[in-house]
Amino acid sequence: MPKTSEKPAWMKNIKKKKKLKKVSTNSNSGMARAKISLGIKGKKNLKKTNAPSTGLSETAKQQYRKNKQQGTGQSFTEALDEKSLEYFNEVSARVYAEQCQFFLNAFWDEFGDQAEVIYSIHWDTMKKVDMENQGIAYLHLYEEGFDLDFDMGLLFFERLVQRFEGPAAAEAKEYPKAVPKHMTSIKRKKQLRNKVDVNFDGRVGMLEFLLYQFQASPKVLMERSTRSEESNPELDAARAALAEVNKRIKAYEAKKAKLNKIVATKTGVKQLKAKNMLAQIESGPLMETLRAALITAEAKVRIVAKRTKNKSSRSSSSSDESGGQPRADGTIWWMKREIKEKKRLYGRRKKK
């Protein structure tokens, strides 16, 4: 019989299935794997309450989102007025460390005993997540940020939980208030949107996290943190001295990283020269200028700590009744802690 190409009747009624598209997922990086485990797809951020895109200032847009959230009963319990929100936004645009200090200054009486865990765990984890998000491997290449998008905020909470369950288990026992509660990623997303994001800008700052974690009132925070017209030259001098130390550290670490790269990638004379320079870098000019800057900074921090101690108010208010300088207990503690850490890493080694 001759061959025929005509299909049988029963085959004609079968609908042709569409081929499924292949979806490639790059899960090589730690960040990609973390996003997959948390249910974060691509570069899309979590859904947030949108405001009209034109004709409104940023503060007005935030007010719009705040009102919309309040209408659903999902807003932060004590919303800020327009003036307070404006100042809150100003503080939230400062680097993570300054946001931590702002929080501690206002709530020193309540949460001063949590300063160490805020410094060594919360702040450190926030920076690491920010660095990972930017693809930065070395601290000396990192410029400290001030907030994270919701996806990275979710990852920040996840990393905190993992850290407190693992390497920081001892700190978790000592500082139970500082440990985030276990919850599913879906519930955490809702918490980020409805409870953590105080100013309704769709991002998570260090100040917002601390208010949420320690259940502190943003309204009380701003009431205690009124702007002061008075300057504090000793405090400004101490900050400038610490900034100089950080500048010297970056120069030292950049040189060290460059030499290590030569040792790892080159051979012969270049490699030997780099090895020799690495052996001498501890006593070289970069380290000497760094240590000199560290001694100067320590002296200036000691001066401001002594003078501020006599002026510090014992009340829970962040400023005295005469409208003088705000409390700086948190800032003073933070600067002392920074000096201690930098001395541990870069101070002169004691001869055995």
Model confidence over 194-249: pLDDT tens digits? 899 888 888 999 999 999 999 999 999 999 987 766 778 999 999 999 999 999 99
Enter the pTM of the model: 0.77
Tell whether 181 and 290 lie within a shared domain: no
> 145 is in which domain, residue-wise?
58-224
Q: Is residue 48 part of a domain?
A: no
The domain total for the chain is: 2
Q: Strand 147-149 relative to strand 203-205: parallel, antiparallel, unpaired?
A: antiparallel
Residue 34 located in a structural domain: no
State whether 106 and 142 are in the same domain. yes
68 shares a domain with 158: yes
> Is 283 part of any domain?
yes
pLDDT in tens, 14-44: 555 455 454 444 555 555 555 555 555 554 4
- Residue 182 makes CB contacts below 8 A (sequence gap 6+) with 161
Residue where a domain terminates, one of 165, 193, 224: 224
Same domain, 123 and 216: yes
Q: How far apart are CA 181 and CA 214, in angstroms?
A: 12
If asked whether residues 289 and 260 sit together in one domain, one would say: yes
Domain termination site, one of 191, 224, 257 = 224
CA angle 159, 161, 163 (to 5 degrees): 65
Residue 321, in any domain of the structure: no
Q: Which helix (H) or strand (E) holds 297?
A: helix 285-311
Please list the residues that pair with 149 across neighbouring strands: 203
Residue 125 has pLDDT above 80, yes or no: yes
Q: What is the pLDDT of residue 163?
A: 96
Residue at 303 is within a domain? yes
Same-domain pairing of 202 and 117: yes
Do 205 and 280 reside in the same domain of the chain? no
**What span, in angstroms and rounded, lies between the C-alpha atoms of 298 and 325?**
22
**78/198 same-domain check:** yes
| CA pair distance 58, 113, nearest whole angstrom | 36
Q: Distances in Å between the alpha carbon of 39 and those of 26, 185, 189, 194, 290?
A: 14, 8, 10, 19, 44
Are residues 193 and 260 located together in one domain of the fold?
A: no
Is 17 inside a domain boundary? no
**Could you report the per-residue pLDDT of 254-274, keeping only the tens digit for each?**
999 999 999 999 989 999 999
Amino acid identity of residue 320, one-letter, is D
- Does residue 219 share a domain with residue 263? no
Helix or strand holding residue 126 (H, E): helix 124-134
Are 63 and 196 within one domain? yes
Residues 193 and 285 in one domain: no
The region, left, alpha or beta by phi > 0 then psi within -120 to 50, assigned to residue 100 is: alpha
